Every structure is written in structure tokens, then in C-alpha cells.
Amino acid sequence: MADIFHLSTFLHRPIFDQAGDRIGRVQDLVARLGDDAHPPIVGAVIRIEGRDLFLPIKKIGGLAEGRVTFQGRRVDLRRFERRPGELLLAEDLLARHLINLVRGRLIIANEIELAEVNGRWEVIGVDSGRRPFLRRIFGPGIASHVKSDTLVDFASIEPFVSHVPTARLRIPYRKLAKLHPAQIADLVEQASHEEGEEIIEAVGLDRELEADVFEELDTTHQLEFLEGRSDVDAARLLARMEPDNAADLISEIDQERRMPILEKLPESQRVRVRNLLSYNADTAGGLMNLDYVSVAEDATVGEALEAIRRSNAPTESLHTVFVLDWMGHPLGACPIATLVRTRESELAINVARTHLTHVHPQWDLHRVARKMSDFNLTVLPVLDEEHGQMIGVVTVDDLLEVMLPQGWRREFGMSAVEE
């Protein structure tokens, strides 16, 4: 295994010519981002008589031995200018937030780790632990070649680049798309506003993913990132959110923007959101989702399973299929586990729970929670006051989201920046 070297040990180190005379000092190392998991070091920024100049890596020797030397004949005296795709390791990465794509967390780059692999210098990792601070205090001899247990492979890292002057680098959407929307939302909430905007911009390439991430953000961040959008853009985003989540967000938007945004929603979404806005947010009606799976009373188990396959309802609502009569009155509920264990030719109503545990739209959340807990349900139907019509469902994930205290992820360290 190649020895690991620390960026901090090269910074501000003198650089000598081949005659042994000091000609300047190392200001930074330059890496090139591309398809390489470990970006190659392409050169160094050196300061000579107050000017920052660039030296290609092929003209630099002695990095591994600790004495940096210039191995060329002449130094190009043109001032250093960053090229597209280049990162300055100290200026752009050191002590900044980076995204750990494996864990879906932000880390702070307390050290950048380098190695010479097959004759090429590469950026191999980032150390987010406290060891770099100890090394700076007590000197480079402290564990100088020992791998830290907080070292993260650079292949799993994504830097923020909004501060990079060339502004030609962007977080690749394909990398963020591997994370769950809740993990991406956690990243946004941990980050600064500019970093959060960069993440939102990246996931915005997939409009559905962008909406999913917005649904996972807390209200403060939702409003923060809607503030800079036009009413048209805000309506476009809300149109892709689940109606209950869209209604919750619209109810928090400033009054003067609320109606213009609502009017720009597609008609079907606008009708649903208006319906949900008629209920208090802290009731079953304000929490319910209008999309669920239902079949007729003469439907077979096979037809119920096919209805699940065809449904556009949220995944959380698919755990139960409801059986309705020809007038739309609820007759029973079939958990998906029961359906998959039953012969497809059997009538769904024959395996349904016909004593339908339910709530009404005006019930408060604590009453809803007790009902769901008492009967071990993950999907709870909401019936009108006359028990004649089923108007929506409450899912356990939505209930948990509103019952848990605001900021609970932060309070319990779920979204803290790793050190």
C-alpha cells in the first residue's frame, strides 16, 4: 500500500532549484476533477517574489522525501490562472464542507490526503477527524504515515463548488440521485444557504426528485428556498408534490403569494390542495392523503394486487387496499400481506377486515395516533362524519413527521456535520 501524505505538510514549504537555492514557497496543490475516482495532482501554485505562479507536477520533485525541488530550467512567470475543472486543494477543500455520498452526511475537510500511485500523485481521501489538529500542534511526525480511522475515500466525496471562481463545476446529479430524498434534505439543512442552493440545483435536473426532497425539508428551509423562485417556478414544484405536502407548504407561504401560486397549479392539483386547506393542519383531514387504492366488492385478490401495480398513489398508501360498494361506501380493508398470502381467485372482500377501523377529518392528531397504535395500522382510512364516504387515508410516516418535534434530526445528531 502506498504511503499517505498530508496536504498540510506541503503548504508554505520552501521550494528549491537544482542548485539548492530557495526560489519560493508552495502555496497550494492543483488537482483536476474528471472521471478519475482519485483526482490527479497536475501541479502546484508557488509564490515567488509576491507572484503566484504555476509549476506542472512533472517539474516538481522531492514531495515524498520532504524537500520540494524545481526540476525544470525556467519558471513560467505568468500569473497562475485556474483552468476549468481544476481544484485548489487548500483554497477549495481544506476546512470546507464536503458531501460524504456513502453516508449522506456533510463532513469538514480537516486534512486532504495524497499518495503517489504508479508514479502519479493523486488525491486519495479526506480526513474529517481531530488528528490533523494534533499533528499541526505537535508537528508532522505524529502519525505522519498512519491511516486515520476518519479517512474517507475521495471516490465517496463530492465538494461544493459554488465558491470556485471559474464556476464551471457542478455537483453531478447522478451521484446525489443515489441517496434517499430524506438524506439529500438532511444535507441541505446542514449546509449553508449557498451550499443548499447548489444541492437543490443539482437535484433539479430530476423534477420528481426535487419535489421529493422538498417534501422532506423542514418548513423553514422550504420557505427559504422558495423565496427566490417566481410564482410560476414555485407552482411547478408544488404541482409535483403530494397534495397533502403541497397544502401544508402553501399554508405557510406569505399571504400575498399564496393565492397567485395556488392559481398557477394545474386544475386537478389545485382542487385537491384547496380541499385539504379547508381542514385544520393539526387534524386527520389536514394530514390525510387523497390517493389510495380501492377495488369493487366483487373484485378478486388478483385484481386487488393488479390495482396496486397500476396505482400512482404514494408507496406508503399501498400497504392496504380498500373494498368499496357500487356507491363508493367502504366495506373493508385488505392489508397487502394478506393479499399476497391468498389465492388470487379468492374474493378480496372475503379476506378483508370488514370492521373498518377509521378516523374522521376533524379528529386531532393525538386521537389519530392512538387509533393507529391501538390497531397496529400503517394506513388509516378517513371517513366523512356520516360514515358514508371514504375521503382519504393517513399513513404512519406522515403521522410520525408531524408528531416528532421540529428539528429532531439535529437534536439527536441525525444530521450533524461529521467531525
Mean pLDDT, contiguous 10-residue spans, the chain (419 residues)? 85 90 93 89 93 92 86 83 89 90 88 92 89 53 51 86 57 80 92 90 90 92 93 95 92 93 94 92 92 96 97 92 93 96 97 94 95 94 89 92 70 56
Closest among 249, 287, 240 to 393, alpha carbons compared = 287
Task: Report pLDDT for 410.
Answer: 54
Closest among 157, 164, 160, 181 to 37, alpha carbons compared = 157
User: Quick check: helix, strand or coil at residue 295?
Assistant: strand
Task: Report pLDDT for 41.
Answer: 95
Task: Report pLDDT for 307.
Answer: 97
Question: Cα–Cα distance between 341 and 339 in angstroms, integer?
Answer: 5
Task: Report pLDDT for 418.
Answer: 59
Report whether CATH 3.40.50.150 matches the domain 289-401.
no
Question: Cα–Cα distance between 73 and 85 in angstroms, integer?
Answer: 28
User: Quick check: helix, strand or coil at residue 33?
Assistant: coil
Neighbours of 330 (CB within 10 A): 20
CB–CB of 408/401 below 8 Å? Answer: no
Looking at the DSSP bridge assignments, the partners of residue 127 are 111, 151
- CA–CA distances in Å: residue 336 to residues 25, 223, 288, 291, 377: 68, 37, 20, 16, 12
Task: Report pLDDT for 14.
Answer: 94
- pTM score of the predicted model: 0.76
Question: Cα–Cα distance between 310 and 289 in angstroms, integer?
Answer: 18
Question: Cα–Cα distance between 359 and 283 in angstroms, integer?
Answer: 10
The CATH code of the domain at 5-159 is 2.30.30.240
Question: Cα–Cα distance between 64 and 5 in angstroms, integer?
Answer: 8
Which residue reads 422558495 in cell numbers? 226
- CA–CA distances in Å: residue 195 to residues 75, 141, 188, 407: 37, 35, 7, 19
Which residue reads 505537535 in cell numbers? 138
Which parts of 243-283 fold into alpha helices (H)? 243-252, 255-263, 267-277
Domain ranges of the chain: 5-159, 170-228, 289-401
- CA–CA distances in Å: residue 401 to residues 124, 214, 369, 406: 39, 14, 12, 9
Question: Cα–Cα distance between 176 and 230 in angstroms, integer?
Answer: 25
CB–CB of 391/382 below 8 Å? Answer: yes
